[in-house]
Amino acid sequence: ETGVTQTPRHLVMGMTNKKSLKCEQHLGHNAMYWYKQSAKKPLELMFVYNFKEQTENNSVPSRFSPECPNSSHLFLHLHTLQPEDSALYLCASSQGAQASEAFFGQGTRLTVV
C-alpha cells in the first residue's frame, strides 16, 4: 500500500480515443500533482492542485485536461493525443508544508498509437 494509487497501470490508446487516468491518495494530503516522465528527459511537472484549486499549469497542451473533484482524487482526461505523448504519468501528493515530501504513485504507462 503506497498511499497514492494510480489506475490503470498501463494504457494503450489511439490518437482519436478519449481516456482518463485516475489518482487517489489515502494520506490526507491537500496538494496533488501530475508529472510526465518521458524517456531520456527529466520529470516534468504538468499540473498542481492545492485544496482542489489548480495553482499551476506548466504550459500543458489542452489535449490534457485535469480534474480534481476533491482533495483525495485527481484525474487526467486525455483526448486526441499524439504519439509523442507516450510516457509514464506520475501522480504525487503532499501535505503542503514547506519541508513536506511528495509521495508518488506507481504511474500509468501510456502508449499512444
Report the interface residues with another protein, using CB under 8 A.
2, 31, 33, 35, 40-43, 45, 48, 50, 55-56, 88, 90, 92, 94, 96, 98-107, 109
Smaller CB separation from another protein, 33 or 81: 33
Smaller CB separation from another protein, 71 or 80: 71
Task: Provide the minimum distance between the beta carbon of 107 and another protein in the complex, in angstroms, as a whole number.
Answer: 5
Cell representation of residue 36: 510526465
- Which three-class secondary structure state does DSSP give residue 85? helix
Whether the bond into 66 is cis, omega within 30 of 0? no
Task: Provide the minimum distance between the beta carbon of 1 and another protein in the complex, in angstroms, as a whole number.
Answer: 12
Adjacency order of strands within the sheet including 64-70? 4-7, 18-25, 73-79, 64-70
